[in-house]
Amino acid sequence: MAGAEPTGTAAERWRAVVQDPQLRAAVDRVVPADDWPAGWAGGVGDYLAEGGTEQEWALAGLERLVAVLAGQDFAAAPPAEQDRVLSDLGGRPGPDADLAGLLRLCWEGYYATRRSAADRADDPGWPAGLAMVGFRDLPEGVTPVEAPLPPATPAARLRAHYDAVVVGSGPGGAVAAQTLARAGRSVLVVERARPLSNAGLRGDHLHGKRNAVYRSVAGPGPQHPRLAVQEDDGGGLAERLVDGDGDAWAYGLNAYAYGGGTRLWQGMAWRFFPEDFAMASTYGNPAGATLADWPLGYDELEPYYSRAEQELGVAGEEGALTARTPRSLGYPMPAMGTEPARELLAGAAGRLGWTTGAIPLAINSVPAAGRPACVRCSSCVGHACPVDAKNGAHNTFLPRALATGNTEVVLDAEVIAVHDGPAGASVEVMTGCSGEPVLRTVRADVVVVAAGAVESARLLLASGLGNDHLGRHLHDHRFVSLRGEVDQPVKNGLGPGHSVATLDHVHAGTIPWGGGVLVDLMSVLPLTSATDPGEGVPRWGAGHKRWMREGRPHAFGVFGMGQEVPSETSAVTLAGVLDRWGRPGARLRKSVHPASREVEAGMAALGTRWLEAAGARGVRQQRGGATASAAGEHSCGTARMSDDPATGATDRFGRLWGAHRVVVCDSSLHPTNGSVNPTLTIVANALRVAERLVDDWPR
């Protein structure tokens, strides 16, 4: 009876509500039948029938919604009356929230691929919404190729001593492993991620790295708590406990996989500008900020940039985007081919007097290194490459390190403490993390910490190492997304993603504090479009479905990424919450300095001009996501380099001040983060740091 408290287990209640004819009728008005199936037959019914614990968040709301609909005999009403009933629910605080939950489930079931539909993976028309909008995960005729994972060393066979233990297999750690192994040093790389295949890291629109609406397959999993502390709209502080099996955006977007973030990135491979290495000298230091110059300049890093491009494998072209970053070598591969979005924005830039170019990408534009060229799939960013054309630590530096015979890799293992001393170092490693964990102690001449800006700082702080600068100066980038509508569709859903850029507003005076790069906004997945279609699009019903089919192709935008000025109060410290090993989690305080807001506003204004010059209508800034988490995927600065321990956490070669045998080798070292993606700089700096370590081995 309506209003009675539901009884039974959650699974029993879920089955009951899913079988209720009122729910099916509501789903078929949210996604009504036309030339394409209605929601229930088009995938939502199967999705709800498969529903498990992940969807339990919606159970109580669906039960309330069904009870309300039953009271009006919704299932028996004509379609127009059903639409009126659902419309009346909108705007009423309780019912509207329940309706919003139903809408979300409908979009997930009708417009998203998912692991539970693996038995229909050969059907490009499932669920129906994907076929309706013309989405294909892979171009026709392309067969995925599974890249093998490395032969991981069983935990029981770990040695008692290695010359070096490298914590993390991302770009910094992988470069260190390759450099040390080639110099004849024995190396153990410890990676806490499970041994996930490329197939397990792609094609799932509900659990991917960037688009996860549920637990990300690239997340660390449960019992890795963090306290995220951010400023609310009123200027106060809001503290939120997040875990590694929850909201990936709130937790932080760094990928936990063999190869780190480069396993799932799009591959934008930029050099920092000369001014990026001297931000404090160039712009001064506004009150409340902690801008600092690097202890080295562009000229010192340039040879390593050239090596990084060659060894990683970057496709690019010399021209407008390289004019202010002098180079000793050209790119090893030509730039990716053009597309309509590049032509449209290049023409608009020309009318504005701006210059543009093809974005440099660490992706094979032609067959290279025994691997094929990019097939331009529709799920590049945040997903593993289906043909292994995307270049990263996993298929470049780490295989070369293993090929020396001097490197071992242990997966599903986590370093929980680092011990340092003049006579030697050691790490405590928890092996077999996803099964029966066993704690082991491994000794080393040196420990290279490359777990990312958050986890490197957390590990070293929890180990009692470092000075007062360790963990401070946490910052990322500022991001702006602008969207409008164009007459002719220019983003056809093919990858790899961003295609064209202008660097005319980087250190050019048009945007304060160093400005930022402007690029085309990549195509988004159908689920993202359905969930956030933009202003003027009906929330649900025939109009929403028609927009997905006819209006969505005309949506187009520009994305800005710019300098984030580090703040005095932004830092990684130790939280009072403990992880599954009894070690303190990270407390992330992220403050946005007013100077960073100026960068954001400048990018928004110029991005709007660019889109309008391209003929876009209704240009608007998308809100939210600019600082969606306290630790973004470009986080840096928590172990920044300095020639003086009074101003940094490490020396210019990554050696932790106050320690004998600990070297940091990741984005933590960056005093500032430039206005472009930092990965190529991580690689170049890691080559420099690791070479110095070989030459100045601790004795």
Sign of CA dihedral 313, 345, 606, 594: negative
Task: Look at residue 342 and tell me if it is in a domain.
Answer: no
| CATH code assigned at 675 | 3.50.50.60
Question: Is position 568 within any domain?
Answer: no
78 and 185 in one domain? no
**87 and 182 share a domain?**
no
Domain count, the chain: 2
Query: What is the number of other CB atoms lying within 10 angstroms of the CB of residue 222?
Result: 13
Tokens of 30: 């949210």
The crossing angle, in degrees rounded to 10, of helices 298-312 and 679-695 is 100
Beta bridge partners of 268: 361
Could you read off the pLDDT of 598-621 as tens digits, one per residue? 999 999 999 999 999 999 999 999
Distance, in Å, from the CA atom of 192 to the CA atom of 415, rounded to the nearest integer, reads: 8
The CA distance from 250 to 238, in Å, is 13
C-alpha separations of 211 from 77, 228, 393, 439 in Å: 37, 20, 22, 34
pLDDT at 698 (0 to 100): 92
41: pLDDT strictly greater than 70: yes
The pLDDT value recorded for residue 151 is: 86
Cα–Cα distance list, 575 to 244, 249, 474 (Å): 15, 19, 16
pLDDT above 70 (res 117): no
Q: What percent of the chain has pLDDT over 90?
A: 82
561 in any annotated domain: no
Summarize pLDDT for 125-178 with one digit per residue, the tens.
Answer: 589 999 999 998 889 899 998 888 888 999 889 999 999 999 999 999 999 999
pLDDT at residue 606 in the model: 98
The pLDDT value given to residue 126: 81
pLDDT > 70 fraction of the chain, expressed in percent and rounded = 96
Q: State whether 180 and 295 are in the same domain.
A: yes
- Assigned token pair, 208: 């991917």
Nearest to 209 by CA among 525, 581, 455, 570: 525
For residues 354 and 288, give the distance between their C-alpha atoms in angstroms, rounded to a whole number. Answer: 34
pLDDT value for 247: 77
- Same domain, yes or no: 65 and 188: no
| Residues ≥6 apart with Cβ < 8 Å to 367 | 373
Regarding whether 418 and 272 lie in a shared domain, the answer is: yes
Average pLDDT over residues 282-298: 97
User: What distance separates the 2 farthest-apart alpha carbons in the chain?
Assistant: 83
In this prediction, residue 125 carries a pLDDT of 56
Do 69 and 187 belong to one domain? no
Average pLDDT, the chain: 93
Count, in order, helices (H) and strands (E) of the chain.
18, 17
User: Is position 570 within any domain?
Assistant: no
Residue-level pLDDT at 622: 87
Predicted confidence at residue 423, as pLDDT, reads 96
- What is d(CA 615, CA 493) in angstroms, rounded to the nearest whole number? 20
| 406 plus 289 within the same structural domain | yes
Amino acid identity, residue 197?
A: S
Q: pLDDT confidence of 238, banded at 50, 70, 90?
A: confident
Question: What distance in Å separates the CA atoms of residue 320 and residue 355, rounded to the nearest whole number?
Answer: 6
Mean pLDDT of 626-653: 87
Residues 324 and 183 in one domain: yes
Residue with tokens 């929403």: 544
Residues 311 and 429 in one domain: yes
Residue 686 scores a pLDDT above 90:
yes
pLDDT interval class at 416 (50, 70, 90): very high
Query: Which of the pair, 237 or 392, is modelled with greater confidence?
Result: 392
Task: Give a yes or no: residue 100 inside a domain.
Answer: yes
Alpha-carbon gap, residue 51 to 46, rounded angstroms: 9
Query: How far from the centroid of its chain's Cα atoms is residue 388's Cα?
Result: 19
Chain centroid to CA 606: 25
- The per-residue pLDDT for 628 is 40
What residue type is assigned to position 39 of the chain?
G
Give the closest residue to 481 by CA, choosing from 540, 524, 538: 524
**Mean local confidence (pLDDT), 477-505:** 94
Instruction: Classify residue 99: in a domain, yes or no.
Output: yes
Q: Judge whether 513 and 672 are in contact, CB under 8 Å.
A: no
pLDDT band, very low/low/confident/very high, at 246 (cuts 50, 70, 90): confident
pLDDT at 625: 47
Write down the pLDDT at residue 1: 37
Tell me: do 424 and 304 sit in the same domain. yes
Question: 259 with 245: CB under 8 angstroms?
Answer: no
pLDDT tens column, 11-23: 999 999 999 999 9
Which helix (H) or strand (E) segment is 111 a member of?
A: helix 93-111
164/113 same-domain check: no
Q: What is the pLDDT of residues 78-112, one digit of tens each?
A: 999 999 999 999 888 889 999 999 999 999 999 99
CB crowding 600-622: b at 16 or more within 10 Å, else e: bebbbebbbbbbebbebeebebb
Residue 574 domain flag: no
Confidence (pLDDT) at 123: 57
**Residue 263 confidence (pLDDT) above 70:** yes
Q: Domain range for residue 378?
A: 155-199+264-337+361-473+633-695
Least confident of 237-241, 317-321, 404-408: 237-241
Q: Specify the higher pLDDT residue, 626 or 60.
A: 60
The secondary structure of 235-302, three-state, reads CCEEEEEEEECCCHHHHCCCCCCCCHHHHCCCCECCCCCHHHHHHHHHHCCCCCECCCCCCCCHHHHH
For 247-265, the DSSP string reads -HHHH-----STTGGGGTS
Residues 77 and 189 reside in one and the same domain:
no
Residue bearing tokens 């396993």: 263
Residue 120 — very low, low, confident or very high, per pLDDT cuts 50/70/90? very low
CA distance 282 to 505: 16
Question: Do 166 and 582 contact (CB within 8 A), yes or no?
Answer: no
Q: Is 637 left (phi over 0), alpha (psi -120 to 50) or beta?
A: left
Chain segment 342-358, per-residue pLDDT in tens: 999 999 999 999 999 99
Q: In which region does residue 591 sit, left (phi positive, over 0), alpha (psi from -120 to 50) or beta (all else)?
A: beta
Residue 582 lies in a domain: no
